[in-house]
Chains A and B, each alone.
Chain A
Amino acid sequence: MADKTGSGGTSSGGESPRADTARVAKVAAGLDWQYAPAPESRDIVSIAPQYGLFIAGEFAPAATGRTFATVNPATEEPLARIAEAGSEDVDRAVAAARVAHEQVWGPMPGAERAKYLYRIARILQERSREFAVLESIDNGKPIKETRDVDIPLAAAHFFYYAGWADKLDYAGFGQAPRPIGVAGQVIPWNFPLLMAAWKLAPALAAGNTCVLKPAETTPLSALLLAEVCQQAELPAGVVNVVTGAGDVGAAVVAHPDVNKVAFTGSTEVGIAISRAIAGTGKKLTLELGGKAANVVFDDAPLDQAIEGIVNGIFFNQGHVCCAGSRLLVQESVADQVVDRLRQRLMTLRLGDPLDKNTDIGAINSRQQLDKITELSAAGEAEGAHRWSPPCELPERGYWFAPTVFTGVSQSHRIAREEIFGPVLSVLTFRTPEEAVTKANNTPYGLSAGVWTEKGSRILWMAQRMRAGVVWANTYNRFDPASPFGGYRESGFGREGGRHGLGAYLDV
């Protein structure tokens, strides 16, 4: 991998044997040149030493006074202390949301709700650089992704759903569809602000009020979004943010006065939530795990396919529920595809997330790094062949080199379990029928990719792959107008588009 001297807070002095190997490989590959550092300034964002919960329009400490730390996963540097909500705080947040729903947000004309959402979208755009830096620091993802994907898409979601708020009669759910009430929303750490936008924007447009529980490792952008809500003069209690770990999310979900539950995260937790609210009549939508097949046929445009494979699994360090983690490549081009993929991976730059040249940032947490490490070890132990480009990992922080497994069979854990990291499993197929069978041989069904120049084959594959999103000759594209969500154990309900409104209307 191309070096970035001085990036990631790591020392460039003291060559390790590993680094020597890397250098030799790069010379051999003609890549022995270096990028100058191109760090984005972090001065644009000021991180407070402490953050409170956002309830009824005000920031306040937890009733118990308890806090937890959020750290920069690229450096393990503590960033701030965050209030840890208890059941008393959750009660207060839900009560605030209820009052706001009944007295302000529910009765408000849709056209007025729309204007608040437009305001939020605009402020997000205006403060986008600040959000991008903050998200990169708290999450570990590269600044070029937060700058070009997370933040603009989050703003776009608010802008898109703002326009629905006064058009609900025409959304296909009957005349004057009613909101559900108070929505409890629990979101993951992989796209912290974007997931908050996916949850809040349609809920608010439909007339619900929200209690949002961000992930414990990435609370900062949601709290900055709370500040944006204040700046937009969103009425108190319409959006509430309670921070903490899984127990806080569980308390939100189980709260008797929450009418609608929306969760994005692991299938395991999604199932636990389903069980917890069974029989309560709460409306539920789940966006859970995935193990997507990215299918490459022998007539695929290979240059584009290689980029799509890389984007499919290494975008956001593979912390993507719809990541193309199983590459299914037609046998006749398998060697060629793997060779070219390896060449491409040699050019990826891993390091300081705030460097504008960085392709691969930090793993979000020690816990996630351990999981990726364990599953990758299982891949080797089960007999798959492991390969990573020569790659120097920073000494501090949580890092994992891009990894490609070949010789993977369908029974291997790395072909069945969601790794949620930069680890690609390569399998092969001979016929389109075999590709479909293998692609569908998973309990998940969130997304799939297909690469071929033959139009009829694209549509044939798209019809047969059991997945909520199919990317044909592209991968990992997102848009507020495009419904997103899974089949089978990847969850139910859709986020985005007209369909996403239905999850927040009493239909």
Chain B
Amino acid sequence: MGSGRTSMSEKSGPVGGGPVVGGPVVGGPVASRRLGVRKTYKLYVGGAFPRSESGRSYPVHAAKTGDLLAFAAQASRKDVRDAVVAARGAQAGWAGATAYNRGQVLYRVAEMIEGRGGQFAEEISASEGVPATAARRTVAAVIDRWVWYAGWPDKVAQVAGGANSVAGPYFNFSVPEPTGVVAVLAPPQSSLLGLVSVVAPVIATGNTAVVVASEDRPLPAITLGEVLATSDVPGGVVNVLTGRMDELAPVLAGHFDVNAIDLTGAGADSRAELERLAAGNVKRVFWADDDWAGEPTPRRMLAFIETKTVWHPVGI
């Protein structure tokens, strides 16, 4: 982390501008009498930060202490639909950007996370109940993971595609293309490393994403939305919803303008029903309970691409 912050409290608790009710400002001078300015955690949809159209919110608590951290927006099915519309609207433009450009934009995201490292570490520490040092290591892993994926957009076609030797006078080649709009159910425990590990591979290849953040640990996801909003990632490429997984996941699984869904963050007992819903428009369904601290592989990227094969005659 490049921030050089040293004042972060080991105590889990309120983040981003102070506790809900009194108390020391985490990440700020403890002795200060100044009242902190808290962040309102909203949804991230279409490049903007709306509240839930339902007007609902829900309390988010620190994992270890149970202290109230913030009120997160509780997205509704209407918010899901708005997010899908935003993702669909952004998809052609994002996929149409050059792979080099997409790689640079993703790299820019890593730069921005680096700059916000302290804030992410505080949120992870509070959300996951881990010590600050562990949280900082996690942020470092998040940045490295994002950089890993930033290098992929202009390489995946050579790994996943190629020329095919057909028995006839034709030139025939296969290229990977994005599947389209991908719903991503983020893992419940790993609030940021798990999140970026499922989102980055989806968007690296030109898909756009509607992400349901960890229900109990949503704060780093919204802060990631703020990073994306300031990283040249076009609005709508990543949309982040917070709320009840059981309420939002079936709406995404059954949505006919969603092309694929990553069920990694769904409970094992809900996957069967979500797969049934996803079948209605032949969604691609993927999930894998990865060890987020482990080395990534291209597997998640390859799960959300389509192979297009083009034939043309050879002749004079």
Contact = CB atoms under 8 A, between A and B. Distances in A.
Interface string A455-476: 0001000100001111111100
B307 A494 contact: yes
Contacts of B9: none
B19 to A, nearest CB: 42
B165 interface: yes
Interface in A493-507: 494, 497-499, 507
B313 interface: yes
Interface stretch (A52-60, A205-213, A268-276, A363-371): A268-276
A490 B172 CA distance: 21
B178 to A, nearest CB: 10
Contacts of A470: 308-311
A271 B174 contact: no
A483 B164 contact: yes
Contact of B308 (A156, A468, A481): A468
Contacts of B271: 278-279
Interface string B124-159: 000000000000000000000000000000000001
Contact of B164 (A274, A458, A482): A482
Given A267-B282, A271-B282, A278 B311 contact: no
A398 B145 CA distance: 60
Given A278-B279, A288-B282, A462 B167 contact: no
A482 B278 CA distance: 28
Q: Which of B165, B299, B309 has the most CB of A within 10 A?
A: B309
B140 to A, nearest CB: 27
B34 interface: no
B172 A479 contact: yes
A127 interface: no
B312 A482 contact: no
Interface in A270-311: 270-271, 274-275, 278-280, 286, 288
Contact of A489 (B159, B272, B281, B313): B281
Interface in B180-229: 180
A479 B166 CA distance: 6
Contact of A481 (B165, B280, B299, B310): B165
B273 A278 contact: yes
Contacts of B275: 274-275, 278-279
Contacts of B164: 479, 481-483, 497
Q: Decide if the interface of chain B is mainly helix, strand, loop or mixed.
A: mixed
A430 interface: no
B300 interface: no
Contacts of A109: none
A481 B166 contact: yes
Given A472-B311, A482-B311, A275 B168 contact: no
Given A443-B281, A477-B170, A487 B311 contact: no
B312 A468 contact: no
Nearest to B174: A483
B306 interface: yes
Contacts of A507: 299
Nearest to A476: B311
Given A278-B272, A288-B282, A470-B311, A477 B306 contact: no
Q: Which of A267, A271, A278, A468 has the most CB of B within 10 A?
A: A278
A9 interface: no
Contact of B276 (A275, A473, A474, A490): A275
A479 B299 CA distance: 26
A250 to B, nearest CB: 15
Interface in B246-284: 259, 271-273, 275-276, 278-282, 284
A78 interface: no
Contacts of A487: 179, 306, 308
Contacts of A191: none
A494 B162 CA distance: 14
Contact of B282 (A462, A467, A469, A489): A489
A485 B311 contact: no
B311 A488 contact: no
A477 B168 contact: yes
B167 A491 contact: no
Given A279-B272, A488-B259, A477 B282 contact: no
A172 interface: yes
A473 B309 CA distance: 14
A473 B308 contact: no
B309 A286 contact: no
A471 B313 CA distance: 9
A271 B311 contact: no
A270 to B, nearest CB: 7
A477 B166 contact: yes
A405 interface: no
A481 B278 CA distance: 31
B283 to A, nearest CB: 9
A492 interface: yes
Contacts of B282: 267, 270-271, 274, 286, 288, 488-492
Interface of A: 156, 172, 267, 270-271, 274-275, 278-280, 286, 288, 443, 458, 462, 467-474, 477, 479, 481-485, 487-492, 494, 497-499, 507
Given A279-B275, A470-B308, 15 more contacts: A267-B282, A274-B276, A286-B282, A462-B308, A467-B308, A468-B306, A469-B308, A472-B310, A472-B312, A474-B313, A479-B164, A479-B166, A481-B164, A487-B306, A488-B281
15 contacts: A156-B167, A172-B159, A271-B282, A279-B276, A286-B282, A462-B310, A468-B309, A472-B312, A477-B166, A479-B167, A481-B167, A482-B174, A485-B307, A487-B306, A488-B282
The 8 closest A-B pairs by CB, nearest first: A279-B272, A274-B279, A278-B275, A479-B166, A278-B276, A472-B312, A489-B282, A481-B164
